[in-house]
Amino acid sequence: MNKFTQQVLQSPKLQALPIMTHPGIEAIGSTVYEAVTNGHIHYQAIRYIADNFDTLACTSIMDLTVEAEAFGAKINLPENEVPSVSGRLVSDAESVAALEIPTLAKGRIPQYLLANRLAAENIKDKPVFSGCIGPFSLSGRLYDMSEIMAAIYIYPETILQLLSKCTGFLVSYCKALKATGTQGVVIAEPAAGLLSGDDCMMFSTNFVKQIVDAVQDDSFTVILHNCGNTGYCTEAMVASGARALHFGNAIDMEKVIEQCPGDVIIMGNLNPVAIFQQGTEEAVRKATRKLLEKTAGHKNFVISSGCDLPPHVPEANIRAFLETVEHYDFLCVSRVC
Amino acid sequence: MSSDFLEKLSECVEFGKINLASPYPPQMKGLPGADEITREALQAGVTPTEILNDALIVAMNKVGQKFSENKIFVPQMLLSAKAMSASMVHLKPYFASGAVQRRGIFIIGTVFGDLHDIGKNLFAMMVEGAGWEVIDLGIDVKTEKFVEAVERYPNAVVGISALLTTTMVNMKPVIEAVKSAVPGTKIIVGGAPLSAEFAVSIGADGYGKNPQEGIMLLDKISD
* Residue closest to A188 by CA, chosen among A122, A152, A140: A140
| Tens-digit pLDDT profile for residues A148-198 | 999 999 999 999 999 999 999 999 999 999 999 999 999 999 999 999 999
Which residue does chain A place closest to B121, by CA atoms?
Answer: A146
Judge: A199–B75 Cβ closer than 8 Å, yes or no.
yes
CATH code given to domain B2-97 = 1.10.1240.10
Average pLDDT over residues A250-266: 94
Q: What is the distance between the alpha carbons of residues B123 and B207, in angstroms, rounded to a whole number?
A: 13
Q: Check if the beta carbon of residue A166 is closer than 8 Å to that of residue A187.
A: no
Q: How many CB pairs under 8 A join A and B?
A: 73
Distance (Å, whole) CA A113 – CA A106: 12
pLDDT at A225: 96
Per residue in B17-50, pLDDT (tens digit) is 999 999 999 999 999 999 999 999 999 999 999 9
Contact flag B165-A78 (C-beta cutoff 8 Å) = no
Residue A146: which of B23, B117, B193 has the nearest Cβ?
Answer: B117
pLDDT cut 70: percent of chain B above it: 99
Distance CA B134, CA B127 (A): 7
Segment A41-50 mean pLDDT: 98
| A334 pLDDT higher than 60 | no
Q: Residue A88: which pLDDT band, with cuts at 50, 70 and 90?
A: very high
User: Is A77 at the interface with chain B, CB within 8 A?
Assistant: no
Amino acid identity of residue B56, one-letter, is L
pLDDT tens, A90-119?
999 999 999 999 999 999 999 999 999 999
pLDDT band at residue A336 under the 50/70/90 scheme: very low
Task: Among A171-185, A233-247, B187-201, name the one with the lowest average pLDDT.
Answer: B187-201
Residue type present at position A76: N
Please give the residue of chain B at the shortest CA–CA distance from A307: B193
What residue of A is the nearest CA neighbor of B116?
A84
Residue B84 has pLDDT above 90, yes or no: yes
Helix or strand or coil: residue A309?
A: coil
Q: Over pLDDT 90: what percentage of chain B?
A: 65
- Rounded Cα distance between A13 and A18, Å, is 16
| pLDDT value at residue A184 | 98
In terms of Cβ atoms closer than 10 Å to its own Cβ (0-12, 13-18, 19+), residue A208 is: buried
Confirm if A257 and A266 have CB atoms less than 8 A apart.
yes
pLDDT at B205 > cutoff 90: yes
CB spacing of B118 vs A311 below 8 angstroms: no
Contact A232 B73 (CB under 8 A): yes
User: CA–CA separation, A32 vs B85, rounded Å?
Assistant: 40
**Domain residue limits, chain B:** 2-97, 105-222
**Beta-strand pair B105-110/B157-161:** parallel
Which CATH architecture does the domain made up of B105-222 adopt? 3-Layer(aba) Sandwich (3.40)
Asked if A195's CB is within 8 angstroms of B24's CB, the reply is no
Q: Regarding beta strands A221-226 and A128-133, do their DSSP bridges make them parallel or antiparallel, or are they unpaired?
A: unpaired
| Under 8 Å between Cβ of B109 and B175 | no
Amino acid, single-letter form, for residue B167: T
The Cα of B175 is separated from the nearest Cα of chain A by a number of Å equal to 20
* Greatest mean pLDDT among A300-304, B100-104, B161-165, B217-221: A300-304
ipTM of model:
0.88
Q: What percent of chain A has pLDDT over 70?
A: 98
Q: What are phi and psi of A333, to 5 degrees?
A: -65, -40
Cβ neighbours of residue B2 closer than 8 Å, sequence gap 6 or more: B41, B44, B45, B46, B50
Q: What is the pLDDT of residues B125-150, one digit of tens each?
A: 889 888 899 999 998 899 999 999 99
Main-chain dihedrals φ then ψ at residue A289, nearest 5 degrees: -60, -45
pLDDT at position B178 over 90: yes
Using a CB-CB distance cutoff of 8 angstroms, which residues of chain A are in contact with residue B193?
A: 273-274, 310
Residue of chain B whose Cα is closest to the Cα of A150: B75
**DSSP sequence for B110-179:** EBTT----HHHHHHHHHHHHTT-EEEE--SSB-HHHHHHHHHHSTT-EEEEE---HHHHTTHHHHHHHHH
Beta strands in A110-226 (DSSP E): 128-133, 184-188, 221-226
pLDDT at A230: 87
A332 touches chain B (CB under 8 A): no
> Which are the contacts of B60, defined by CB distance < 8 A and separation ≥ 6?
B13, B80, B81, B84, B126, B129, B130
Contacts of A310 in chain B (CB under 8 A): 164-166, 193
- pLDDT at position A333 is 60
Residue A195 lies in domain: 3-335
**Considering only CB atoms, which chain B residues are within 8 Å of A152?**
75
> Which H helix or E strand runs over A58?
strand A58-59
Among A30-34, A270-274, B18-22, B95-99, the range scoring the smallest mean pLDDT is B95-99
C-beta atoms of B166 and A196 within 8 A: no
> Chain B within 8 Å of A277 (Cβ-Cβ)?
yes
Whether the predicted pLDDT of A337 surpasses 70 = no
How far is Cα B118 from Cα B200, in angstroms, rounded to an integer? 24
Q: Do A152 and B82 touch (CB under 8 A)?
A: no
Confidence label for A29 from pLDDT (cuts 50, 70 and 90): very high
Share of residues in chain A with pLDDT > 90 (%): 88
Q: What is the pLDDT of residue B1?
A: 61
Total domains present in chain A: 1
Query: What are the chain B neighbours of A312 within 8 Å (beta carbons)?
Result: 165-166
A270 touches chain B (CB under 8 A): no
The 10 Å Cβ neighbour count of residue B159 is 28
For the domain that residue A178 is a member of, what is the CATH number?
A: 3.20.20.210
- A16–chain B nearest CA distance, Å: 23
pLDDT surpasses 70 at A259 = yes
Q: What is the pLDDT of residue B169?
A: 85
In chain A, the residue whose alpha carbon lies closest to the alpha carbon of B123 is A146
Report yes or no: A312 at the B interface, CB cutoff 8 Å: yes
The enclosing H or E element of A332 equals helix A315-335
